[in-house]
Amino acid sequence: MTQQVKRAFKYRFYPTEEQASQLLRTFGCVRLVYNKALEERTRAWYGEQRRISYAESSAALTEWKKAEKLAFLAEVSSVPLQQALRHLQTAFGNFFAKRAKYPRYKSRKKSRASAEYTRSAFKWHGRQLTLAKMTEPLDIRWWRPLPEGAVPTTVTVSRDAAGRWFVSLLCDDRIAPAPATTNAVGIDAGITSLVTLSTGEKIANPKHERRDRARLAKAQRELSRKAKGSANREKARRKAAKVHARIADRRRDFLHKLTTRLVRENQTVVIEDLTVRNLLKNGKLARAVSDASWTELRSILEYKCAWYGRELVVIDRWFPSSKLCGNCGTVREKLPLNVREWTCDCGTVHDRDVNAARNILAAGLAASACGDGVRPQRESSRTGRSSAKQEPQRATAGIPRL
């Protein structure tokens, strides 16, 4: 049975000078409105212990446009400005619900330059998209078709650090579930091997950042030599950003191909709940962990499993998958990272990663059967012992991210 989902289709486009100028002004106005509204909300909260609603922020925006110093806000479409206020409202909602930290100001240099247009702020005629305040449609490179009869409900225009322009079209799409299968797979994420499967297969880490490290280092050296604020520094910055963009594009392409294969071949996919943020605190491993991009791998698996009718099981991060003997169930006290193969007291010789993947699969299938996950008992660090199993904990299922 097919399901209807909201799906974004992202394309690159090449604006004219007039369109680029208009979009850059819009980006600046969106950032200004967001920061100004955040400033007002912060002042009201810390000064008066009062919350400002979206309606009050929207009314304030109308007054800002009437001010002589902010009259330029009326030169761009009002819809992206209203959307910026809605995004800020969502950010505060997440903060008060303790799902996120306090909203931060948007930086001109570090924040993503983007503007969101709803249906009233653009014209759509087949494959032609014309934004508000523009007379000509965008020159979009349609590298893949939209769903038949799809009409975008929201359009997001953005420009990355490398100067490339993108437009993302949010459309309704119907996705058919993948053919049912009885296969299940456990996945152990690593650095040398990006993932090791419970079948024994190891998928090598492409190490995209390392392959372009020399080119990136050269671009960054050239950037450091340029005078701040000069045109040559901007050229050098964009050159370094293009190397970063190339690395990110290749990494994302590889992860999409890998996750698509895993979802198509298996009905149940089991992974670990890794705390990548803590792993990045290790100075020796941070660069390799970042290049592996485990967080993006999990995010893609989550929405693809949800779309195609697969089950994603996430086991507890403290489950001793590497130190647990899959044959006799003994948990080894210590297993340093440099030990890639070890022998249990029962005589079984284990490949560290393959054994971990098989243990992850077994724990995931048990969690799927009873609706609970597995979490080991963490003993006091003073004992020097490794973790043992603890009471079951609810496993988390995949949630689509659009």
User: Can you tell me the distance from the alpha carbon of 389 to that of 130, in angstroms, rounded to the nearest whole number?
Assistant: 59
Q: Is 397 a member of any domain?
A: no
Same domain for 72 and 16, yes or no, is: yes
Same domain for 213 and 134, yes or no, is: no
Q: What residues make up the domain containing 72?
A: 3-175
Same domain for 146 and 197, yes or no, is: no
Per-residue pLDDT, 318: 86
Q: How confident is the model at residue 377 (pLDDT cuts 50, 70, 90)?
A: very low
Q: Which whole number is the average pLDDT over 285-312?
A: 92
Q: Is 383 a member of any domain?
A: no
**Tally of domains in the chain:** 2
DSSP readout, 151-211?
--SEEEEEE-TTS-EEEEEEEEEEEPPPPP---EEEEEE-SSEEEEETTS-EEE---HHHH
CA dihedral 292, 293, 298, 299 (to 10 degrees): -160
Same domain for 132 and 193, yes or no, is: no
Per-residue pLDDT, 192: 86
Measured from the Cβ of residue 102, the count of other Cβ atoms closer than 10 Å reads 11
144: DSSP letter: S
- pLDDT tens digits for 40-69? 999 998 888 888 999 999 999 999 999 999
User: Can you tell me the distance from the alpha carbon of 177 to that of 2, in angstroms, rounded to the nearest whole number?
Assistant: 6
Same domain for 59 and 193, yes or no, is: no
Check whether 382 has a pLDDT greater than 80.
no
User: Can you tell me the distance from the alpha carbon of 166 to that of 236, in angstroms, rounded to the nearest whole number?
Assistant: 22
Same domain for 95 and 12, yes or no, is: yes
Q: Is 121 a member of any domain?
A: yes
- Measured at the alpha carbon of residue 295, what is the angle toward residues 85 and 9, in degrees to the nearest 5? 55
Same domain for 256 and 296, yes or no, is: yes
Same domain for 190 and 328, yes or no, is: yes
Boundary-marking domain end, from 158, 175, 192: 175
**Using H for helix, E for strand and C for coil, what is the string for 321-378?**
CCCECCCCCCECCCCCCCCCEEECCCCCEEEHHHHHHHHHHHHHHHHHHHCCECCEEC
Q: Which whole number is the average pLDDT over 142-171?
A: 94
- pLDDT tens digits for 171-227? 999 999 999 999 999 999 988 899 999 999 999 999 999 999 999 999 999 999 999
Q: Is 365 a member of any domain?
A: yes
User: Can you tell me the distance from the alpha carbon of 378 to that of 225, in angstroms, rounded to the nearest whole number?
Assistant: 51
Same domain for 130 and 207, yes or no, is: no
Q: Is 51 a member of any domain?
A: yes
Give the mean pLDDT of the chain: 88
User: Can you tell me the distance from the alpha carbon of 296 to that of 201, in angstroms, rounded to the nearest whole number?
Assistant: 21
Per-residue pLDDT, 279: 84
Same domain for 68 and 129, yes or no, is: yes
Q: How confident is the model at residue 111 (pLDDT cuts 50, 70, 90)?
A: confident
Q: Which of 299, 294, 312 is nearest to 361 (CA)?
A: 312
Give the pair of three-digit tokens for residue 326.
């899959």
Q: Is 379 a member of any domain?
A: no
- Measured at the alpha carbon of residue 109, what is the angle toward residues 43 and 115, in degrees to the nearest 5? 75
β-bridge pairing 128-131 and 154-159: unpaired
Same domain for 160 and 207, yes or no, is: no
Taking the alpha carbons at both ends of the chain, their separation in whole angstroms is 20
Per-residue pLDDT, 276: 85
Q: Is 374 within 8 Å of 315 (Cβ atoms)? A: yes
Check whether 380 has a pLDDT greater than 60.
no
Same domain for 163 and 16, yes or no, is: yes
Boundary-marking domain end, from 175, 209, 237: 175
Q: How confident is the model at residue 10 (pLDDT cuts 50, 70, 90)?
A: very high
Q: Is 385 a member of any domain?
A: no
Active site residues: 188, 272, 353
Per-residue pLDDT, 372: 59
- pLDDT tens digits for 239-277? 999 999 999 999 999 999 999 999 999 999 999 998 888
Q: Is 8 a member of any domain?
A: yes
Check whether 389 has a pLDDT greater than 60.
no
Q: How confident is the model at residue 371 (pLDDT cuts 50, 70, 90)?
A: low
Boundary-marking domain end, from 108, 141, 175: 175
Check whether 145 has a pLDDT greater than 50.
yes
Q: Which whole number is the average pLDDT over 131-150?
A: 93
User: What is the phi/psi pair of residue 48, to 5°?
Assistant: -120, 0
Q: How confident is the model at residue 127 (pLDDT cuts 50, 70, 90)?
A: confident
Per-residue pLDDT, 386: 35
Q: Is 240 within 8 Å of 223 (Cβ atoms)? A: yes
Check whether 385 has a pLDDT greater than 50.
no
- pLDDT tens digits for 61-103? 999 999 999 999 999 999 999 999 999 999 999 999 999 999 9
